Amino acid sequence: MSLKVNPLEIPDVKIITTARYSDARGYFTETYNRRSFLDAGITADFVQDNQSLSVSEGTVRGLHFQAPPYAQAKLVRVIQGAILDVAVDVRRGSSTYGKWVSARLTAEGGEQIFVPRGFLHGFATLAPDTVVAYKVDNLYDPASDGSVVWNDPDLQINWMTDPTAAVVSDKDSAAQRFADFVSPF
């Protein structure tokens, strides 16, 4: 497996691109190979795959986390459409605590983002009918589920979408402010 790994401004968050082999039929790509990821220094042992469909452009999902001991690292990719993926560092003692990074992921480009444990995570769709798939390295636990409001003024995240037209769940709209967030990481 040919794997290209590029760290973002917060180096623990990485963009991963795998080789695509194209011909007249289309393309083939190996999106995950444990050995290749281990060789690249990504040691997460993925145990669950998730997938979402967001019908409307401008749908925002996040900023979510799972508290320890159910914290989750994520490997996110777009199957159809495009997203802006966002990760916020909430690791206590980190020099980048409260800072965020983002990356545009598209089905056409095949990019993936690795978000380690200790980050808030979310995304905004940049195209209608966007399908996102992601692997996590720990099972979902409802009692460990948490979130920070996606448009928190202290974080000042540029979601590349009109905030007045964003499609957001009631749960995400009612999430806590970052100023009130006590990191479990």
Quote the number of domains for the chain.
Answer: 1
Q: In this predicted model, what pLDDT tens digit does every residue of 25-57 receive, in sequence order?
A: 999 999 999 999 999 999 999 999 999 999 999
45: phi then psi, degrees, rounded to nearest 5: -105, 95
Side chain identity at 37, as an amino acid letter? F
Catalytic residue among 21, 32, 134, 140: 134
Question: Does the annotation count 64 as an active-site position?
Answer: yes
Side chain identity at 166, as an amino acid letter? A
Question: Does the annotation count 121 as an active-site position?
Answer: no
Find the domain containing 84 and state its range: 46-180
CA 81 to chain centre: 15
Percent of the chain's residues with pLDDT above 90? 99
Give the Cβ contact number of residue 65 at 10 Å. Answer: 26
CATH number of 121's domain: 2.60.120.10
Task: Please tell me whether the overall predicted TM-score, pTM, comes out greater than 0.85 for this model.
Answer: yes
37 found inside a domain: no
Give the Cβ contact number of residue 53 at 10 Å. Answer: 13
Q: In this predicted model, what pLDDT tens digit does every residue of 77-129 receive, in sequence order?
A: 999 999 999 999 999 999 999 999 999 999 999 999 999 999 999 999 999 99
Catalytic residue among 27, 64, 70, 140: 64
Give the Cβ contact number of residue 80 at 10 Å. Answer: 15
10 found inside a domain: no
29 found inside a domain: no
Provide mean pLDDT across the span 160-177.
96
158 found inside a domain: yes
Q: Any idea which residue has 């145990």 for tokens?
A: 47
33 found inside a domain: no
Predicted pLDDT of residue 1: 66
Three state DSSP letters for 121-140: EEEEECCCCEEEEEEECCCC
